[in-house]
């Protein structure tokens, strides 16, 4: 545990621009993070690094702990151990609102809109930290990117369909142009075409603009197509990590996606790929 934290120190110095030229800065680094709902961890010792402009896909079976990890990154659940670095800054003990203020955005898997607010007010809440004068203009820009929301703007969020709610949630998180985005199954409930579009255009474009994205997805194929890096979470442990094409080719990948451990434990390096490994690549 302690040695991992020491590793983290190294990562930070390289990530903060002082390191290798041409390497984009670290947007988010998790170092040995464990998290859970009481005192018992559900995800264990997760280490992931996401650089600016990078899309990292996190996949795993139902109940493997993906959402739990996301909640601890945004700060709704405390990290039971480990360190969370946002753009190189230790935010492990910070409140969610402080993390959002530092550029973190989060789309939850469920309860993703404010039911008692209308769509416009939902978007305004996404811009809670923005200067008042800029909000209206930003809403117009966002509506240009999500034209389907235009006719719904005064509709109560409670009255929206599941897909429309998801769109509102995604639009809301984009209000402030976050530099690091946590998307927990952003395409769940969307039509395949729209899902494809969200992933390949919205998310990919965001990444091109320099945003780091941690993407939890059930649509593994689509997610891996846009992702730069992929991890597989099994029972709260990172089992596999690497380039999406390699991960998906790994023997036993299907078994892992069903939440079954491999008969033979995964080989050492990829069992828990630390950020150090990745920055070396």
Partner 1 sequence: MSSAWDYYLTSVLVFFAIDTSAGLALNLQFGIAGIYNFGFVVFQAIGAYVAGVTTIGPPVPGLQESYILGARLPFPIPWLAGAAAAALVSLPVGLACLRRLRGDYQAMVLLVFALLATTVATDATGLFNGASGIYGIPQPFVSLGLSRAGYNWAYFGVAALIAFVVYLGAQRISFSPLGRVLRSIRDNESAAAAVGIGVYRARVKVFVLGGAVAGLSGAVMVSYIGAWSPGSWAYAETFVLLSALVVGGSGNNNGAVLGTFLLPVLVTQVIGLIPLSTADVDVVSSLEWVLIAAVTLFCLWLWPQGALPDSRRIRKILLPARSAVTGEPQS
Partner 2 sequence: MSTLLSGVGFGLLTAALLALAAVGFTVQFGITNLFNLAYAQFMLVAAYVGYTLTNAGVDVWVALPIAALAVGALSVAVNRFVYMPFVSRGRALFSMVLVTVSVGLAVEYLIEVFAGAGAQQILMNPGSTWSAGGLVLTTSQIIIVVIAAIAMALFHLLLRHTRLGKAMRATSSDVSLARACGIPAARVRDVAWFISGVMCGAAGVVLGINVSFDPTTGSSYLVPIAAAAVLGGIGRPHGAMLGALVVGVGSEVFAAITTPSYKDVIAFGVLLVVMLVRPQGILPGSLRTDVVEP
Ligand X SMILES: Nc1ncnc2c1ncn2[C@@H]1O[C@H](COP(=O)(O)OP(=O)(O)OP(=O)(O)O)[C@@H](O)[C@H]1O
The residues of the shown chain that bind ligand X, judged by CB under 6 A, are 37, 42, 60, 62-68, 109
Closest CB to partner 1 among residues 43, 50: 43
CB of 273 to partner 1, least distance (A): 30
Stretch that binds Mg ion, among 24-32, 33-41, 60-68, 190-198 (CB under 5 A): 60-68
CB of 110 to ligand X, least distance (A): 8
Q: Are 214 and 182 in contact (CB under 8 A)?
A: yes
Q: Which does 42 bind (CB under 5 to 8 A by kind): partner 2, ligand X, partner 1, none?
A: ligand X
* Helix (DSSP H) and strand (DSSP E) numbers for the chain: 13, 10
Phi, psi of 275 (to 5 degrees): -65, -30
107: three-class secondary structure by DSSP: strand
CB of 73 to ligand X, least distance (A): 12
Q: What does the alpha-carbon distance between residue 51 and residue 60 come to, in Å, rounded to a whole number?
A: 22
Q: What does the alpha-carbon distance between residue 82 and residue 93 come to, in Å, rounded to a whole number?
A: 11
Q: Which DSSP letter does residue 62 get? A: T
Give me the residues that bind partner 1 (CB under 8 A), please.
37-38, 76-77, 111
Give me the residues that bind partner 2 (CB under 8 A), please.
74-76, 95-97, 100-101, 106, 108, 111-117, 121, 124-126, 128-129, 132, 158, 172, 176
Q: In residues, how long is the chain?
A: 281
Q: Is 109 in the site for Mg ion (CB under 5 A)?
A: yes
């Amino acid at each position: 545990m302690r040695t991992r934290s020491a590793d983290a120190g190294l990562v930070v110095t390289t990530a903060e621009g002082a390191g290798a030229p041409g390497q984009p800065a670290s947007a988010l680094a998790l170092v040995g993070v464990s998290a859970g709902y009481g005192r018992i961890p559900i995800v264990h010792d997760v280490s992931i690094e996401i650089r600016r402009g990078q899309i990292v896909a996190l996949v795993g079976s139902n109940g493997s702990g993906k959402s739990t990890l996301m909640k601890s990154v945004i700060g709704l659940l405390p990290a039971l151990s480990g360190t969370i670095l946002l753009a190189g800054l230790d935010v492990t003990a910070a409140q969610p609102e402080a993390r959002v203020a530092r550029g973190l955005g989060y789309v939850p898997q469920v309860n993703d809109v404010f039911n008692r607010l209308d769509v416009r007010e939902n978007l305004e809440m996404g811009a809670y930290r923005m200067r008042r004068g800029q909000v209206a203009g930003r809403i117009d820009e966002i509506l240009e990117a999500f034209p389907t929301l235009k006719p719904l703007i005064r509709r109560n969020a409670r009255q929206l369909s599941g897909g429309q709610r998801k769109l509102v949630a995604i639009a809301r998180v984009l209000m402030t142009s976050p530099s690091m985005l946590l998307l927990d199954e952003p395409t769940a409930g969307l039509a395949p075409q729209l899902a494809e579009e969200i992933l390949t255009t919205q998310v990919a474009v965001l990444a091109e603009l320099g945003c780091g994205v941690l993407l939890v997805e059930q649509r593994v194929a689509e997610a891996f197509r846009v992702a730069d890096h992929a991890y597989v979470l099994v029972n709260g442990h990172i089992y596999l990590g690497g380039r999406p094409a390699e991960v998906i080719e790994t023997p036993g990948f299907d078994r892992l996606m069903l939440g079954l451990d491999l008969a033979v434990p995964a080989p050492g390096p990829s069992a828990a790929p630390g950020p150090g490994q990745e920055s070396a690549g």
